[in-house]
Amino acid sequence: MHYAAVDTSPFNCKWIRRGSEGSIDEFKYAVCRRLCDADRVVNETECTFCPLWEAPPEAIRVPTRFPAG
């Protein structure tokens, strides 16, 4: 069975510090806590293509079904 995260915003990752999101004009950023020795400011593109992106544990997940083909 496959699952899809209900809210798939790049900043809806378990490594993003909640409440750290901000923006300057059209540039959006947040603080990533993935590196244990230092917090890091990341933008949406970095989060979108991060190979370690994970939905937070409290995210609601719903099963998806694909038609047999």
pLDDT digits (tens, 9 = 90+) for 22-51: 999 999 999 999 887 889 999 999 998 999
CA 36 to each of CA 4, 27, 33, 67: distance values in angstroms, whole numbers, following the listed order: 28, 25, 7, 42
Does the pTM of the predicted model rise above 0.75? no
Query: Cβ–Cβ contacts within 10 Å for residue 55, how many?
Result: 17
Per-residue model confidence (pLDDT) at position 2 = 46
Contact 30, 45 (CB under 8 A): no
| Number of domains observed in the structure of the chain | 1
Residue 48 belongs to domain spanning: 2-53
The proportion of the chain whose per-residue pLDDT surpasses 90, expressed as a percent, equals 39
In a domain, 59, yes or no: no
In a domain, 13, yes or no: yes
The per-residue pLDDT of the chain, averaged, comes to 80
Average pLDDT over residues 46-58: 87
In a domain, 67, yes or no: no
